[in-house]
Amino acid sequence: MEGFATFMEEGIYDVESGEWDLFNLEPVGITPRRLFYEQAGATCQFLYHGENGKYHQPFLDNVCNYYSARVPELDPQKAFGLESEELGRRTVQFARAVAAGWRPR
């Protein structure tokens, strides 16, 4: 939620189309905070959708456990069987595959 709220604060509403552009990088550009949330968002997308949903339920379980204070921090090895570096590599691979298939509306 915090990440989404951050983008809402920085988003732009297009009156003509009636749509929000929550990820507009103009005019503020990349900031350390934006980069952090964008990387976190990409990781969440991978864990939710990647590898045919392999990590979907463990991801949801860990989000619930973290926000209900059942675990103090996320341990990717314990939660998903992946070291942090491997999770990062797979996230980048997933993001590139998604971006390769993306076409503007």
Least confident of 2-11, 33-42, 73-82: 2-11
Q: Give 48's strand partners.
A: none
Question: Could you report the per-residue pLDDT of 25-48, keeping only the tens digit for each?
Answer: 555 567 788 888 889 999 999 999
Write down the mean pLDDT value for the chain. 80
* Rounded CA separation 61/38 (Å): 22
Domain ranges of the chain: 1-29, 31-105
Whether the upstream peptide bond of residue 76 has omega within 30° of 0, thus cis, is: no
